[in-house]
Structure 1
Amino acid sequence: MHTPTTSPLISVAELRSVLGDTAVLDVRYRMGGPPGRPEYDAGHVPGAAYVDLPSDLAAPPGAGGRHPLPETERFEAAMRRAGVSNDRPVVVYDDWTGLAAGRAWWLLRYHGHPDVRVLDGAWPAWRDGGGEVETEEVVPPVGDFTARPGHMPVVEADDVLDVPVLVDARAPERYRGETEPIDPVAGHIPGAINVPTTTNLRVDGRWRDPGALKALYAAAGVDGTEEVVVYCGSGVTAVHDVIALELAGIRAALYPGSWSGWITDPARPVVTRS
Structure 2
Amino acid sequence: METLVSTEWLAGHLADPDLVIADASYHLTPRDAAAEFAAAHIPGAVFLNLKALADPDHPAPMMLPRPDAFAAAMGALGIGEGRRVVLYDDSDIRTAARAWWMLRTMGFADVAILDGGLAKWRAEARPTEAGDHRPCPATFTPRPAIDAVRDKAAMLANVTSGAEQVVDARGAPRFSGAEADPRPGVAAGHIPGALNLPYGRMFQADGTWKSPDAIRAEFDAAGIDLDRPIVASCGSGITASVLLFGLDRIGQGGALYDGSWSEWGIDPETPKEVTA
State the partner residue of 2:121. Answer: 126
CA-CA distance at 1:62 after TM superposition: 3.7
Matched, 1:100 2:90: no
1:63-212 correspondence runs (5 A): 63=59, 65-96=60-91, 99-150=94-145, 153-160=148-155, 161=159, 162-179=162-179, 180-182=181-183, 184-212=186-214
State the partner residue of 1:18. Answer: 13
Deviations 1:68-120 (A, max 9, x none): 11111111111111111222110111102562111111111111112101111
CA distance in 1, matches of 2:58, 2:177: 22
Q: Report which stretch shifted further, 158-167 or 30-39.
A: 158-167
CA-CA distance at 1:60 after TM superposition: 2.7
Deviations 1:146-189 (A, max 9, x none): 11111762222222224431100001111011122235211100
CA contact (8 A) 1:10 1:118 kept: yes
Matched, 1:28 2:25: yes
3-state DSSP of counterpart to 1:167: strand
CA contact (8 A) 2:187 2:266 kept: no
Q: What are structure 2's unaligned runs of at least 5 residues?
A: none
CA contact (8 A) 2:97 2:113 kept: yes
CA contact (8 A) 1:91 1:117 kept: yes
State the partner residue of 1:59. Answer: 55
Q: Report which stretch shifted further, 152-161 or 208-217.
A: 152-161
Tell me: CA distance 1:61–1:187, structure 2 relative to 1, closer, same or farther (3 Å): farther
CA contact (8 A) 1:61 1:68 kept: no
CA contact (8 A) 2:27 2:93 kept: no
State the partner residue of 2:219. Answer: 217
Tell me: CA distance 1:81–1:144, structure 2 relative to 1, closer, same or farther (3 Å): same
3-state DSSP of counterpart to 2:232: strand
CA distance in 1, matches of 2:47, 2:245: 22
State the partner residue of 2:41. Answer: 44
3-state DSSP of counterpart to 1:19: coil
Pick aligned residue for 1:262 from 258, 261, 264: 264
3-state DSSP of counterpart to 1:127: helix
CA-CA distance at 1:251 after TM superposition: 1.0
CA distance in 2, matches of 1:17, 1:151: 36
Instruction: State the superposition RMSD in angstroms.
Output: 1.7
CA distance in 1, matches of 2:147, 2:164: 18
Code of the residue aligned with 1:173 in structure 2: it is P
CA distance in 1, matches of 2:147, 2:242: 14
Deviations 1:172-207 (A, max 9, x none): 111011122235211100011100011110000001
State the partner residue of 2:248. Answer: 246
CA contact (8 A) 1:98 1:118 kept: no
- What is the TM-score of this pair, normalised by structure 2? 0.91
CA distance in 2, matches of 1:114, 1:17: 22
CA-CA distance at 1:61 after TM superposition: 6.9
3-state DSSP of counterpart to 1:233: coil
3-state DSSP of counterpart to 2:21: strand
Q: What are structure 1's unaligned runs of at least 5 residues?
A: 1-5
CA distance in 2, matches of 1:133, 1:266: 48
CA contact (8 A) 2:39 2:130 kept: yes
Code of the residue aligned with 1:58 in structure 2: it is A
3-state DSSP of counterpart to 1:103: helix
CA contact (8 A) 1:109 1:151 kept: no
CA-CA distance at 1:273 after TM superposition: 1.2
Tell me: CA distance 1:8–1:163, structure 2 relative to 1, closer, same or farther (3 Å): farther
3-state DSSP of counterpart to 1:53: coil
